[in-house]
Chain A
Amino acid sequence: MSSRDDSGRLELLQGTLDLLILRTLRLGPAHGHTIAKTIERGSDDVLQIEQGSLYPALHRLIKRGWIDFDVGTSENNRRAKFYRLTAAGRRQLAVETSKWDRLAGAIARILRPATAEGER
């Protein structure tokens, strides 16, 4: 989907975006653009957010009740939505994080079995 080809940057796995949004909002309410930037910067610009998919993802999370939003005024004096984590979202973040840890660990073990074998 991406029209750019910045080598060295990674596209997100499906479903991961939701987790990252939740994690970002744990730091406090944020504006849509801020969320995208936070994720990119937090990964040292390795992760590349498909900015267009951010909004459907935000609405999906609102629909599930994991995040909510307030309408406030942004720095440039415009009406803007500030998204924040709900209690359910906080719980979900814990669940998803532990799931992710197990998944990442498992994938890592499969991808680097050589180290373990080499030690023997």
Chain B
Amino acid sequence: MTRRGRKALDGLADDLRDHIEHQTEENLARGMTPDEARRQARLALGNTALIEEDTRAVWVSRWLEDLRRDLRYALRIFRQSPGFAATAVVSLAVGIAAATGLFSIVNAALLNPFPFADINRIVRLDMIDKGKPRALFVTARQLVALQHSDVLGGAFALNTWEMTLTGQDLPETVHTQYFSANGLDVLGVPPLVGRVFHEADGPAGEQAQRVVVLTYRFWQRHFGGRPQAVGQTLHLSREPYTVIGVLPRQYFSTGPEIVVPIHLTFDPKVSWTVQARLKRGVSPRMAEQRLQPLFDQFAREAPQRFPKEVRPLVRRLVETRRAAGFVPTLLLIFAASMLLLLLACANVSILLLARGTSRAHEFAVRAAIGASRGRLMRQLLLESLLLASSGAALGVAAGYWGLPAALRLLPPNSVPVGNLMAVPVNVRVLLFSAGLAMASALIAGLSPALSFSRPRLTATARTTGVESRRAHHLLLAAQIAVTVLLLAGAGAAVRVLIGLYQTSLGYDPHHVIIATINLPENTYSEWASRATFYERLRDRMTEVPQVDSVALATYSGIPPRSGERSVVEVPGRDTPGDEASIVQRISADYFSTMKIPLVQGRVWSDSESGGTPHVAVVNHTMARAWWPDESAIGRRVRMPDYVKPPNPFRLAAPGSDGWFEIVGVVGDTPNVGLHEPPAPSIYVPYTLMLSDSVNVILRTSRDPLAMTRSIREAVRTVDPNQPLSVYTAEGALASAGWARERFVTWLLLGFAMFALMLAVVGLYSVVSYSVSCRFKEFGIRMALGAGRGRIVNAAVQPAVLAIVAGLFAGLALSVGLNKVVAQWSIGNLNDPVVLVAVSLVLFVVTMMSAAIPANRAASIQPVDALRID
């Protein structure tokens, strides 16, 4: 209402009372008694409440008034048929939730994977050696040189490791992000509470301050989000660290729990990976050119760590981490979710159409008594908008809060996208969802509104006779076609997954459990003490009941991705292949514990593992690739890294000379993931190079997970301050090997099932409505002697046509799209087994959903049908 209106209406009751008084005076003047005068004056004016209402109505827009009435009417309609309304709302909600949820994933993975400011200027520095990318590690002095480069606005070293938090009931492993002290400033990470560390907290060459910045998660878990956390002391790896600040929620929301400054020692043996921020206006290519002289200098100064013809490689952080190969698949799934949303809209359209048919009578009557076409159309649009907005509200809510919650329930690593939780709600997702909701309302509402806002008066007012239902059947056929496509996609993905499960692994992951123990810094830092510690761990584990055998491995040994790339040389010849071989450092009983078959020769014995020449076992792939025509047994290879460890965290055995004699060949196991054939791999005794991380591998005689507790107990008896993580070989296989396939398969399966459900609901409602519309016709036909079969046939026939047409269209679509989709998706849409299975499932399910209401048509009592109207 306008301000003018409010002003005019102000004192309206007084105006009316005043009017009555005037009239009363006039009546008195005419000689009436006071009572009569007042009574007559009241009568002359009429009902004041009514007048007030009429006067107010002058100021209220007619349009709004009508809208209110339509809305009330729509709500009443929905209350009358709650099943219809619920189906429509839920269809849309699931469709929108799927699309919104996936958009959040796409957004997190592709559009905005890092929360850092001006992320496109953050780069990773690496190098190119003979045309191949190679990881770059720089010393503190080299880092300082990089920091002075005129193309970099800041370069920082980084590393991740585990620290042990003590001073509480049980020691706890804390995933730690190490940054050189300038790192957080270069990334532009502000503190939420307290402060972050700066350059001055750990300048190059000096011991860094013992300060720690907490992530939001760690802060919540350990300090309940209390700001008093700042200033407290944490005992990390047996050193006291002062908490100086907390980071906002979006930073490091997965992975690291705390951030500490690196001690940038000038020790040339210690090196780190580097990231940097490009200066404004500097492209990665330009930076590579300008960094070339610096890299040449590095190569001259440290020829053992840099190749002669080194070239810098500068890549945007976003590009290196964008879940690389997964992007097209993700987009494909996203497209599938959009298809699903389209299906949901189509379904609501079908529901509205079917209802429109049964409401044709109502609309004809309303039109006959003067409702304009616009009015009826608005009524229908309003109804669909109401459905859509409720569906959208539900769907958006589910997409936002439901999906992340659901993802959190999944086992770790089952979603092959990093940093998923970093951006839970943002404007882009909100706008996208709102747009989708509006579009769905229009799509779902418009077609029925168009076809039923001009009811043919004469035809429909007389009878609810045979209305053209072609539109439903077209929509149904389209819906079924898309359902077939989704089912085929899901079927193909399932087949790939089954295939992966059936792949011969070369080892037996069942009943194998692994305890990974990462040594805190500065513990067991002599070879002998570390060797003894590992030895004691193994001995103690063998005493645990139900443990059949125990093996040790360091940084290796756990398929499907295991071992480290390292240079292996054969004297007097080039080694085949482009890449360095994979080295696995294990104990001799590893093969028997993992049940990896010995193909040839023998495995070393415990007494041999420290002696010279050192012994080694190679996998079948290496034996075949390197010595194709002869036996690998007895060959000698040299591994330069085993003379001098590449970093101080590894301890080489005394007397290690880098020469190995091959004594056996074992079967292949996956070592670079399940999607690639095994790479050439060499197994050497772990004692020759003791890392700061050890995997204790146990084969058990019962459910391995049930033994977690006794394994932890066993480790505690050896070293009470030593944290560990425990997982099964099957778990490792699933998370590292199958995560992507499993994710894609489950999503597509879910989509396909939902699509099928939508098709069932659509079919069921269309056939039901058509039966109810033709109730009288069927009654007459039965009265005239038509059998049950004929009636069922008549009721179901148009639906069957739609099903068959949709099925074939869907099959054609699948085969046609296969070429386009195959290069990104997993599986083959052309697979005849899948297509036949999909067709069968679809046909049976849809026929059933059409047959149930059709069957009802056959049980019509002719008398009842004739009595109607």
Q: Which residues of A are in contact with B by a Cβ distance under 8 Å? A: 3, 31-34, 36-37, 50-53, 55-56, 59-60, 62-63, 69, 71, 74, 76, 78-81
Contacts and interface: CB of A to CB of B under 8 A. Distances in A.
Q: 7 tightest A-B contacts by CB?
A: A52-B46, A33-B22, A59-B58, A56-B54, A52-B51, A33-B19, A51-B45
Contacts of B4: 62-63
B55 interface: yes
Nearest to B12: A55
B51 A33 contact: no
Nearest to B20: A33
Given A62-B4, A79-B11, A32 B54 contact: no
A36 B51 CA distance: 15
A60 to B, nearest CB: 5
Main secondary structure of the interface of B (DSSP, over half): helix
Given A56-B58, A59-B59, A81 B11 contact: yes
B701 to A, nearest CB: 90
Contacts, number: 65
A23 B328 CA distance: 77
Given A33-B23, A62-B4, A52 B14 contact: no
A32 B18 contact: yes
Q: Which of A3, A51, A60 counts the most chain B CB atoms within 10 A?
A: A51
A74 B25 CA distance: 13
A3 B567 CA distance: 110
A111 B21 CA distance: 42
Contacts of B14: 78-80
B15 A81 contact: yes
B9 interface: yes
B46 A51 contact: yes
Interface of B: 4-5, 8-9, 11-12, 14-16, 18-19, 21-23, 26, 43-47, 50-51, 54-55, 57-59
Contacts of A81: 11, 15
A94 B46 CA distance: 32
Given A56-B57, A59-B59, A76-B21, 5 more contacts: A55-B54, A56-B54, A59-B58, A78-B18, A79-B14
B322 to A, nearest CB: 60
5 contacts: A3-B43, A59-B5, A63-B58, A78-B21, A80-B15
A58 B59 CA distance: 12
Contacts of B44: 51
Nearest to A2: B46
A16 B8 CA distance: 22
A51 B16 CA distance: 10
Contacts of B26: 37
Given A33-B23, A51-B44, A79-B14, A63 B59 contact: yes
Main secondary structure of the interface of A (DSSP, over half): helix
Contacts of B23: 33, 51
Given A3-B43, A80-B18, A55 B55 contact: yes
B768 to A, nearest CB: 49
B45 to A, nearest CB: 5
B778 to A, nearest CB: 52
A63 B50 contact: no
Contacts of B54: 52-53, 55-56
B22 A52 contact: no
A21 B547 CA distance: 104
Q: Which of B9, B12, B14, B58 counts the most chain A CB atoms within 10 A?
A: B58
A79 to B, nearest CB: 6
A69 B4 CA distance: 11
B19 A32 contact: yes
A34 B55 CA distance: 19
Nearest to A71: B11
Nearest to A51: B45
A59 B8 contact: yes
Contacts of B55: 55-56, 59
A78 B20 CA distance: 13
A87 to B, nearest CB: 17
Nearest to A61: B58
Contact of A74 (B18, B43, B45, B46): B18
Contacts of A50: 46
A71 B14 CA distance: 12
Given A33-B23, A51-B45, A76-B21, A56 B8 contact: no
A76 B23 CA distance: 13
A79 B16 CA distance: 12
Contacts of A80: 14-15, 18
Contacts of B47: 52
A51 B58 contact: no
A31 B45 CA distance: 15
Contact of B19 (A51, A63, A76): A51
A108 to B, nearest CB: 31
B51 A55 contact: yes
Nearest to A55: B55
Contacts of A55: 12, 15-16, 51, 54-55
Nearest to A74: B18
A59 to B, nearest CB: 4
Contact of B22 (A31, A62, A71): A31
Given A52-B45, A79-B11, A33 B18 contact: yes
Contacts of A36: 19
A31 B9 CA distance: 15
Contacts of A31: 18, 22
A80 B55 CA distance: 17
B436 to A, nearest CB: 40
A71 B15 CA distance: 11
B45 A59 contact: no
A82 B15 CA distance: 10
A51 B21 CA distance: 14
B697 to A, nearest CB: 86
A34 B15 CA distance: 12
Contacts of B9: 59
Nearest to A49: B44
A24 B43 CA distance: 24
Contacts of A79: 11, 14
A62 to B, nearest CB: 5
Nearest to A80: B18
Contacts of A76: 21
A60 B50 CA distance: 16
B2 to A, nearest CB: 8
Contacts of B18: 31-33, 74, 78, 80
A31 B18 CA distance: 10
B76 to A, nearest CB: 29
Contacts of B51: 52, 55-56
A106 to B, nearest CB: 28
A69 B51 CA distance: 19
A37 B21 CA distance: 14
